[in-house]
Amino acid sequence: MSEHLNQPQDPPSPTFALSSHRSSSDVRVLDVHGALNAATSPRLEEAIGSLIAQSDRLVVLNLSDVPNLDRAALTVIFGSLKRLREKDGDLAIVTGSLLIQRVFELIQMGKILPITHSEADAASILASRSGSSKSGHHH
């Protein structure tokens, strides 16, 4: 599936990258860089799958470096949330892009999972949800 849609000068996100680090003893942060779309979403799904396989249960999805996302990305995010919750885990999202915030508002994503503007907030919300809060819970 590597067909180009008549825009060879604009490949599907050459700078797409994923990295992860631990925010606290319980919380794993997955940093996403670049656009999340049908071409890149499978990599996100794979990354979250391998975190779950490593027994990470509380995951912060840091989208602050993601300019936009599409339906494929949302499908992966919802699917990942479901997989984590089945394992007694949870997912929180950090957003930076106004566009993505609007998308999340439209589909009322905030009712389903925590959406914040800082990694620290997201991590502390997850930590408190898991009942092992070491930092004060602020809304």
Residue 70 has what pLDDT? 93
What is the Cα–Cα distance from 133 to 101, expressed in whole angstroms? 27
What is the pTM assigned to this prediction? 0.83
Helix (H/G/I), strand (E/B), else coil: 69: strand
**Crossing angle for the helix pair 41-53 and 71-86, to the nearest 10 degrees:** 10
User: What's the distance, CA 39 to chain centroid?
Assistant: 16
Instruction: Give the Cα separation of 38 and 73 in Å (integer).
Output: 7
Both ends of the chain: CA-CA distance in Å? Answer: 43
pLDDT tens column, 90-116: 999 999 999 999 999 999 999 999 999
Assigned architecture for domain 17-127: 2-Layer Sandwich (3.30)
Stretch 4-29: mean pLDDT: 74
Query: Confidence class of residue 12 from pLDDT cuts 50, 70 and 90?
Result: low
pLDDT value at 4 more than 80 = no
